[in-house]
Structure 1
Amino acid sequence: MFHAVIQIDHHHAEVLHFNATDVERIGLNAHGSVSRRHASGVRTEHEFFADVCKALEGVQEVLVTGSRTGLADFKHYADKHRADIAKHIVAYETVDHPTQGQLLALARQFFLKHDRMAGVPTPT
């Protein structure tokens, strides 16, 4: 699918791939263990963010939503470790725990405006 939206924090991500009529949901949870080498959980967080990036492979435009810290940490990871995915992320929006329906409505509205401003017709 052409578009995706993510609701992410440090423990869970909900990825919605969608087009005008269909939605595919992928739920991802952070790995539960903390490595001995990085007691802060850095490695665990990187593994989780890597899984999220893998779920975005092949998507042309991505909107990432979540808390400020979750967005900042994911953006830092994607920019540093997954430039191939980061170039497809068109925006980061701070939102507070929307339902799946609210998230999808927000994303559809966002991409309609985004694609019009870019002069790109939204694919069906």
Structure 2
Amino acid sequence: MSHYHAVVWLDHHEAKVFHITETEAEKITVKGRVPDRHINTRGGKSREHAHADDAFLHEVVEALSGAQEWLITGPGEAKHELMRHIERHDPQYRGRVVGVESADHPSDGQVCAHARRVFAKVDRTLPQR
């Protein structure tokens, strides 16, 4: 099933992609691999940072690709890593991204409801198709 709108909530462990209409949602779950971990020891304190791998991000883009407008959400850096991945490896999809937003850990229903509100606002500002 392909819809005009899709939203993805992702962290470094998984991505939940929803292709949505006003009343329906189709969910695709993409599981991440063990993320790369980098240790930052600036100032004598060590902090570990996870990074998503390109294969995981590529699968997320594939899951989104059937839709024409995308909203990217998530709690940490993975959403920005996805945007960098799109810009580097799939620039033809850059124009489909209507927003990148922070979202902690909402339920699937909350993700879809928020996306519907965002897409309704975006679609009102565009010329009629």
Q: Once the two structures are superposed, what CA deviation does each residue of 1:55-93 show, in whole Å capped at 9, x if it has no partner?
A: 112210000001241121111111111112222111101
User: Which is further off, 44-53 or 24-33?
Assistant: 24-33
1:117 aligned to 105, 118, 125, which one?
125
1:104 is matched with 112
For the 8 Å contact 1:56–1:85, the answer to whether it is kept is: no
1:37: which partner in 2? none
What is the RMSD of the two structures over their aligned residues, measured on CA atoms? 2.1
- The alpha-carbon distance between structure 1 residues 120 and 8, as it changes in their structure 2 partners (threshold 3 A), is farther
Alignment of 1:17-36 (within 5 A): 17-32=19-34
Q: How far did 1:24 drift?
A: 0.4
Which residue number corresponds to residue 58 of structure 2?
A: 50
Structure 1 residue 80 corresponds to structure 2 residue 88: yes
Q: With structure 2 as the length reference, what TM-score do the two structures score? A: 0.80
Any unmatched runs of 5+ in structure 2?
Answer: 37-48
The structure whose Rg is larger is: 2
| Aligned structure 1 segments of 4 or more residues deviating by more than 3 angstroms | none
Indicate the percent of aligned positions where both proteins have the same amino acid: 32
- Alignment length (residue pairs): 115
Structure 1 gaps, min length 5: 35-39
Residue in structure 2 matched with residue 59 of structure 1 by the alignment: 67
As a proportion of its length, which structure holds more strand? Answer: 2
SS in 2 for 1:14: strand
Q: 3-state SS of the aligned residue for 1:87?
A: helix
Give me the whole-angstrom Cα distance separating, in 2, the residues matched to 1:93 and 1:14. 15
| 1:67-121 CA distance string (max 9 Å, x none) | 2411211111111111122221111011111100100110000000111012346
- TM norm structure 1: 0.83
Alpha-carbon offset, residue 41 of structure 1: 8.2
* Contact 1:9 1:70 (C-alpha < 8 Å) held by counterparts: yes
